[in-house]
Amino acid sequence: MTPIPNAKGGGMSAAELELIHVSERDRIEQWRHEALERAGYDPEAAIVLAASHDVDLHDAVSLLDRGCTVELALQILL
């Protein structure tokens, strides 16, 4: 396997790759959280849904758009 170059020109360590993966996952979850709050979920529900990667964001938003309460949407999605 060819090492992935880092800023110093050498390959990246496993720890560096894990850090990139974690920070990318954090950015995705933050984006999902913000989108869910804009859709009408309270902050706590948005955190749970944002971290649930098997929950489709569009489905979560659509349920509220179609008149579901947050509580019912959570029951359906989780």
Write out the two tokens for 69: 């309460």
65 has which bridge partners? none
Q: What gap in Å lies between CA 37 and CA 46, rounded to an integer?
A: 6
Domain spans, the chain: 14-77
Does residue 77 register a pLDDT over 50?
yes
* Tens digit of each residue's pLDDT (9 = 90 or more) over 25-44: 999 999 999 999 999 999 99
Query: How far, in Å, CA of 37 to CA of 45, rounded?
Result: 9
Rounded Cα distance between 4 and 34, Å, is 32
Average pLDDT estimate for 41-64: 97
Q: Is the pTM of this model over 0.85?
A: no
The confidence band for 1, taking pLDDT boundaries of 50, 70 and 90, is very low
